[in-house]
Structure 1
Amino acid sequence: MTQEQSIFERVQEMIVDRFGVQEDKVTTSMTFDDLGADSLDVVELVMELEDTFNIQFEDDKIEQLSNIGDAVSYIEELKK
C-alpha cells in the first residue's frame, strides 16, 4: 500500500463516518458540496484531519480545497 492510498483510505473512512455516505461514493473528485457539508462541517473535518495526521492546515489553504483529492494532496504535501 502506498502512502497516497493509505491517506485517501483514512480520509475516505472519516468522511463515511462523519457524513454517512457509502464508501464507494467517496472519490477524490467528490466536492464538499456533494457531501452536503456546510462551512462548519468542513472546519470540523479539517480539525479531525489535523488531529489524525498530526498536521496543521493553513487557514487560506482550507478555503482553496474544492474536493477530497485536494485535501488528500495537501495532507501528502504537509507530511513530506
Structure 2
Amino acid sequence: MVETVDVEAGIRKIVCGISGIPEDANAQADLYLDLGMASVHALQLLTELEDHFGIQIPDDDFVEATSIGKLIALVEKLSKN
C-alpha cells in the first residue's frame, strides 16, 4: 500500500511538472477552474498518474477528480485494490 504522504507528494510533483501549478497549491482548489490548468494536460496527467502509481484509473473517476485532494483520495482508493 502507498503511504498518503507519498501519494500527495507524487501527485503534486506530477501536476506541477505538467502544468506549472505550484506544488504547495491548495489541495481543494479545482485544478482547471481555480488553478488554471489547461484541459489539454488532462490526458498527460492521467497517464503519468497511472504509470507512477502502477494503477488503472477509470475515465469516469478521473473526470470527477478535479482537485489535488480528490486525486489523492482516488489514487489511495485504487492502490488498496
Mark yes or no: TM-score above 0.5: yes
Structure 1 unmatched ranges of 5 or more: none
Distance, in Å, in 2 between the alignment partners of 1:7 and 1:54 is 12
Structure 2: how far apart are the matches of 1:70 and 1:54? 18
Percent sequence identity over aligned pairs: 28
Taking structure 2 as the reference length, the TM-score comes to 0.82
| In structure 2, distance between residues paired with 1:48 and 1:70 | 16
TM-score of the pair, normalised by structure 1? 0.83
Gaps of at least 5 residues in structure 2 are none
Q: Provide the aligned length of Structure 1 versus Structure 2.
A: 78
Runs ≥4 residues deviating over 6 A: none
Root-mean-square deviation over aligned CA pairs: 1.7
Q: Which has the higher helix share?
A: 1
Residue 27 of structure 1 deviates from its aligned partner by: 2.9
